[in-house]
């Protein structure tokens, strides 16, 4: 029998080791899954984890890595702050859409005027769009005690309908021959969020993600506000005793994660994606939740987790293409990663003892 014994203090060693163990376990379980599907497991794992970085076509994929990781990290950095406080923003996907819509609307309203001020204005609009979408569940929670989990999640579907309406209606490209979707911002120099160094995939959204990682790290580890956020998540009564007002905390956390998600959407629409379409959102807002937990809600961890997640995205696409693996299998594979991570997390807080357990 296995007995669990709670550690007096969480183990530092295991909090660094468990993510690695989780990745290894995911590879093994994923390999089993792939071999059941009739594919060579070693080949599949190699295509997913190895080829995008060091395979024959790696030069192209390495750029894709930052393009995919940027929004994930930017969104997850904001979500993690709220998760630390026990405030569950599940609707980053909706805030991402609204940020993109707000940013694109500013650009399309100014079209075709060229100005240095346009892009900064889009940045502000994008953050504001996401912030407003995040503040709706915050205000409802503060005023009426609604669950921010449900409200933020349901607002994703509202945002998706907004997106479809905008793509088919007001933001539709008048010169688009009737196809749904907006003008392509990549062809509008003042509004374009370009690749900063050719072939790296680095754009302003990636820069913003790095700044967000550093800023949230400093906030959570070094600033009294971050300290209070952590206390609120660990022990709400102690937080109130330390002078934290729950209403302010809810608004700050949902506002911050909403604004960062909105920024991610804006950088995406003005850069890699280029235009508003009804299928613009690619699930970054939901995947970022996994990234936040995979990174142990720690800014540096999120940076690494975002890169890893982006890798499984790209590798997963390749595996679909080259080995004919179904999309569902890739999604199961990504789900396994979170499953194993949360499972192994036990080792951080508990010691395992084999043998006869006593009460």
Partner 1 sequence: MTGSLLKIEGLTKAYPGVVANDGVGFEVAPGEVHALLGENGAGKSTLVKMIYGLVKPDAGRMTFQGRPYTPAEPRAARAAGVAMVFQHFSLFEALNVAENVALGMENPPPMGDLAERIRAISTAYGLPLDPARTVGDLSAGERQRVEIIRCLLQDPKLLIMDEPTSVLTPQEVEILFHTLRKLAAEGTAILYISHKLEEIRSLCDGATILRGGKVVASCIPREKSARELAELMVGGEFAATDRAGRVSGATILEVDHLNLPPMTQFGPALKNVSFSLAAGEVLGIGGVAGNGQEELLATLSGERPSGAGTVSLHGQDISDLGPNDRRRLGLLAAPEERLGHAAVPNLSLTENAILTGTVRRPLTRNGFLNMGAARRFAEEIIKGFDVRTPGPHVAARALSGGNLQKFVIGREVLQSPEVLVVNQPTWGVDAAAAAAIRQSLLDLAAKGAAVIVISQDLDELMEIADRFCALNEGRLSEPRPTEGLTMEEIGLMLGGAHGMQEAAL
Q: Which positions lie near partner 1, rule CB under 8 A?
A: 5, 8-10, 222-225, 227, 230-231, 234-235, 237-238, 240-243, 245, 358-359
Q: Which is nearer to partner 1, 157 or 223 (CB)?
A: 223
In the complex, minimum distance from the CB of residue 135 to partner 1, in angstroms, rounded to a whole number: 23
Element holding 6 (H helix, E strand): strand 2-6
Helices (H), 271-326: 284-294, 299-323
Residues 6+ positions from 341 with CB-CB distance below 8 Å: 18, 19, 22, 293, 294
Cβ closest to partner 1, residue 225 vs residue 300: 225
- The smaller minimum CB distance to partner 1, of residues 223 and 300, is found at 223
Q: Give the CA distances from residue 298 to residues 213, 226, 269, 295, in Å, rounded to whole numbers and listed in that order.
A: 9, 12, 27, 6
Using DSSP's 3-state secondary structure scheme, residue 320 falls into helix
CA 273 – CA 269 distance, rounded (Å) = 5
Q: How far is the CB of 11 from partner 1 (least distance, A)?
A: 12
How near is the Cβ of 146 to partner 1 at its closest, in Å? 21
- For residue 39, the tally of other CB atoms under 10 A from its CB is 18
Q: Which is nearer to partner 1, 53 or 346 (CB)?
A: 346
For the bound state, the minimum distance from the C-beta of residue 308 to partner 1, rounded and expressed in Å, comes to: 26
Of 85, 115, 358, which is closest to residue 236 (Cα–Cα)? 85
CB 157 within 8 A of CB 98: no
Closest approach of Cβ 355 to partner 1, in Å? 13
d(CA 90, CA 85): 14
Q: Which is nearer to partner 1, 116 or 237 (CB)?
A: 237
Measured CA to CA, the distance from residue 325 to residue 36 in angstroms comes to: 11
Of the two residues 83 and 340, which places its CB atom closer to partner 1 in the complex?
Answer: 83
Least gap, CB of 246 to partner 1 (angstroms): 11
């Amino acid at each position: 029998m296995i007995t669990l014994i709670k550690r007096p203090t969480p183990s530092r060693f295991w909090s660094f080791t468990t993510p690695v163990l989780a990745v290894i376990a995911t590879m093994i379980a994923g390999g089993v899954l792939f071999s059941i599907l009739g594919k060579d497991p070693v080949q599949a794992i190699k295509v997913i984890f190895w080829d995008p970085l060091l395979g024959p076509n790696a030069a192209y994929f390495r750029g894709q890595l930052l393009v995919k990781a940027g929004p994930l990290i930017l969104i997850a950095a904001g979500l993690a702050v709220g998760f630390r406080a026990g405030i569950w923003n599940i609707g980053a996907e909706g805030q991402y859409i609204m940020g993109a819509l707000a940013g694109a609307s500013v650009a399309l309203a100014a079209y075709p005027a060229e100005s240095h001020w346009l892009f900064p204005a889009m940045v502000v609009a994008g953050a504001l769009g996401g912030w407003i979408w995040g503040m709706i569940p915050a205000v409802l929670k503060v005023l009426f005690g609604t669950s921010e989990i449900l409200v933020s999640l349901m607002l994703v579907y509202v945002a998706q309908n907004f997106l479809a309406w905008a793509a088919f209606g007001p933001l539709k490209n008048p010169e688009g021959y009737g196809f749904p979707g907006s003008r392509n911002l990549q062809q509008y120099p003042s509004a374009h969020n370009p690749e900063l160094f050719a072939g790296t995939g680095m754009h302003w959204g990636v820069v913003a993600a790095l700044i967000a990682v550093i800023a949230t790290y400093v906030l959570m580890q070094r600033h009294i506000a971050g300290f209070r956020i952590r206390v609120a998540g660990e022990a709400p009564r102690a937080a109130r005793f330390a002078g934290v007002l729950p209403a302010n905390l809810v608004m700050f956390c949902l506002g911050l994660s909403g604004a960062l998600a909105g920024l991610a959407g804006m950088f995406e629409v003005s850069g890699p994606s280029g235009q508003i379409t009804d299928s613009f959102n690619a699930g970054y807002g939901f995947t970022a939740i996994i990234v936040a937990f995979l990174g142990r809600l720690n800014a540096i961890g999120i940076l690494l987790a975002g890169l890893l997640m982006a890798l499984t995205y790209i590798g997963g696409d390749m595996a679909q293409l080259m080995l004919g693996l179904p999309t569902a299998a890739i999604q199961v594979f990504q789900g396994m990663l979170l499953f194993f991570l949360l499972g192994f997390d036990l080792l951080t807080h508990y010691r395992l003892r084999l043998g006869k357990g006593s009460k």
